[in-house]
Chains A and B, each alone.
Chain A
């Protein structure tokens, strides 16, 4: 059972927009920055968003992030087949004094 809650799957057509939610509590999402990771099959996770809404170098502006209270959201516009992957949110949990992740969301581009 993951500390952060994500939907198991989302899907949308190429060119469309999708959002992935990440819900937590005041000890994690509510008071710490969120990171988002993209994991293609058989590969290591890749950072696509940090500090809630900042994109690392090389990540296209089709990716966006936001946070409100104890929930965060990753948005992807102009979906491409190459975006098909598992997406994980992660943050620090001040109560547990540990890093915590969501259970992951499988994005399917139909």
Chain B
């Protein structure tokens, strides 16, 4: 069965960077895009972008362009999301999620990681 396991909670100071990992198993890693979605405390879901784990191609929502970098390591079936120049309002749970349909970045998620809480505080 498809499983996505994310790295543990992080506490960062404003201005720092954070890198969250997401290890996939249970299917062929390169066949499906990954999305990153975040959820601030008590708020809704916010889509950040996707990565094609095979080619490494990425597409970020304009709000995060210049601050977010998504990467893939096919040798260990893991994708990463790095967010830089952190601010207090970046405090959120960050989810990786695998697209439902084969080979399509516009296919919304079917499987989700457990989430990684990133707290930004001085």
Q: Which A residues contact B (CB, under 8 angstroms)?
A: 2, 32-33, 35, 37, 43-47, 50, 56, 88, 90-92, 96-104
Contacts and interface: CB of A to CB of B under 8 A. Distances in A.
B44 interface: yes
Interface residues on B, range: 20 to 34
B112 A46 contact: yes
A102 B106 CA distance: 17
Nearest to A47: B110
Nearest to A88: B45
Interface in B22-66: 35, 37, 44-47, 50, 59, 61-62
Contact of B44 (A32, A35, A92, A104): A104
Contacts of B108: 33, 35, 50, 90-92, 99
